[in-house]
Amino acid sequence: MNAKKVSDSQIIMTELVLPNHTNQLGNLLGGQLMHWIDICAALSAAKHSNRVCVTASVDRIDFHHPIRLGDAVTLVASVNRVFRTSMEVGVKVYAQNFRDGTKIHTNTAYLTFVAVDNEGKPVPAAEAVPETEDEKRRYEEALIRRETRLKNRLQNQ
């Protein structure tokens, strides 16, 4: 199986926050954002593996700033690291207000996906090769998050 560059897995997705996406305060619902994050991350994993990929876990989603009605939400996802059949995908979320001319980093999320065959069985995915310093940092941090995830799973059994 050939290795692939991390940058080749990048997916950029943009959504407009409409009234049906918001709570009573006019802020984007957390569940709606999680839905968009899951879709963007799944596309990144599928692009990397050339397979359907299913969500195995969501490690964390950090909410730094609220996203408002009318904001354009840009999600940027890429595979951080591959562990045989599973792969960690990182997603950064930005909110942009065109009237104000502002763009802020609002959220960060880490998800694990598994590439599956036509019967839904896990299959190995190509190694992800980091090239930039940021990609190398995310590659190393993905291993730490995986070890923590596995340790927590053992403790909760």
Kindly report the CATH number assigned to the domain that includes residue 50: 3.10.129.10
pLDDT in tens, 78-90: 999 999 999 999 9
Instruction: Inform me whether the pLDDT recorded for 60 exceeds 80.
Output: no
pTM for the full model? 0.93
Strands (E), the chain: 4-5, 11-16, 52-63, 72-83, 86-97, 102-116, 128-129
Cα distance from N-terminal residue to C-terminal residue, the chain:
34
- If one counts the domains in the chain, the total is 1
> What domain range includes position 90?
4-155
In this structure, what are the phi and psi dihedrals at residue 155, rounded to the nearest 5 degrees? -70, -25
Strand pairing class (52-63; 72-83): unpaired
For residue 98, what are the contacts with CB-CB under 8 A and spacing of at least 6? 72
